[in-house]
Amino acid sequence: MIEISVASGKGGVGKSTVSATIALRIAQTGRKLVVVDADADAPNMHLILGIDSWDWERPYSDSWVAQINQDLCTACGECYKVCPYQAIYVQEGRYYINEVICEGCYTCTLVCPVKGAIVRRQTESGRLRGVNTKYGFPLISARLNPGRPNSGKLVTEEKGIARGMSPDVVLVDSAAGIGCQVVSSLAGANMAILVAEPTPSSFNALKRVHKLTKHFMQPSAVVINKYDVNEGLTREIEEYAQENNMDLLGKVPYDDSIPKSMALMRPVTEAFPDSPASKALLSVADRVLEILDNWADWFRAFRPKRPEPYRPLIIKPEGI
């Protein structure tokens, strides 16, 4: 099993478009593939693939909130005074907790004078779902409820479902950023495909996410999207990739067939196969197929030669 994670650091640079193209191409070759949409805050792979219903869906819970037991509450208002998130509100002399705002810190339980008047309750964070797409591979996706933080645990659960299907390839479309869920998207992956566009913010984010792939000693490849909007910066990204032994898979031109295909909820390579962007994306996907065919050689050539651990900043409390 080979696990490929597609990441970018910055959002909106084309991760899902690149992922969808690669997924379709891998599935066409008859390899058993499972795609994971690891961005539960803003899942969009199903939109690109035109999916409007799921084969299965189940609630996902990993967060807790405080709940006031109205039978026991004496309405003293102590909890209302201390809640650091101001998640408690008063209505007709009674106190209630706004579950969207509550972070489950339980400061309220520390000051509540009545035993059992405020309890911990697990709350639904979102939903996990899956579907067999018409393109010949299953998609595992998740959707978080408003105010519920994304988590590495959720991504790990999604990837666990995908791995459990024993596919040849797992393709993980990661979230933006380099936080907990992106660490979980990359951890255990055999290859990272990093998507960038030639803008200062995307280039900076690429370097940040690259620090993570170096930490995990993963071979990394680069795709430059909308490369022609700033060819000078595109050259800089190419040089960065070369200096850091990252495999440049290809460059995709700016092309309005991509937003048009999104509006149609179809992969661009299917909706507008002859567009310049589709041709470039397909050539990227073909490079991925070559890599899969020559996996051992490619892995050896692009795996970082030595570990470069990513050191988070440690702030120690005084006296420890």
Partner 1 sequence: MKVAFAVDENRGLDSLISHRFGRAEYFVIVDTDTNSYKVVRNPGAEARSGAAIKAIQLLIKEGVRKVYAGSFGPNAMTALEEMGIEYVQLSGVPVKEALS
Binding region for partner 1 (CB under 8 A): 62-63, 149, 151-153, 156, 180, 183-184, 187-188, 212, 215-216, 309-312, 314
Is the distance from CB of 221 to CB of 191 less than 8 angstroms?
yes
Q: Tell the smallest beta-carbon distance from residue 317 to partner 1 (Å).
A: 13
How many Å apart are CA 182 and CA 8, to the nearest integer? 10
Our CB check for partner 1 shows the closer of 84 and 312 to be 312
Our CB check for partner 1 shows the closer of 192 and 258 to be 192
Our CB check for partner 1 shows the closer of 67 and 156 to be 156
- Going from the C-alpha of 39 to that of each of 16, 154, 174, 234, 240, the distances in angstroms are 10, 10, 6, 26, 27
Q: Tell the smallest beta-carbon distance from residue 213 to partner 1 (Å).
A: 12
Our CB check for partner 1 shows the closer of 92 and 318 to be 318
Helix (H, G, I), strand (E, B) or coil at 272: coil
For residue 190, give the DSSP letter. S
Q: Tell the smallest beta-carbon distance from residue 153 to partner 1 (Å).
A: 5
Q: Which residues contact 319 (CB under 8 A, 6 or more apart)?
A: none
How many Å apart are CA 105 and CA 103, to the nearest integer? 6
User: Pairing state of beta strands 118-123 and 63-68?
Assistant: antiparallel
- Going from the C-alpha of 169 to that of each of 163, 191, 238, 301, the distances in angstroms are 9, 11, 27, 20
Q: Tell the smallest beta-carbon distance from residue 191 to partner 1 (Å).
A: 14
Q: Tell the smallest beta-carbon distance from residue 310 to partner 1 (Å).
A: 4
Sign, Cα dihedral of 227, 233, 234, 240: negative
Our CB check for partner 1 shows the closer of 184 and 278 to be 184
How many Å apart are CA 141 and CA 158, to the nearest integer? 7
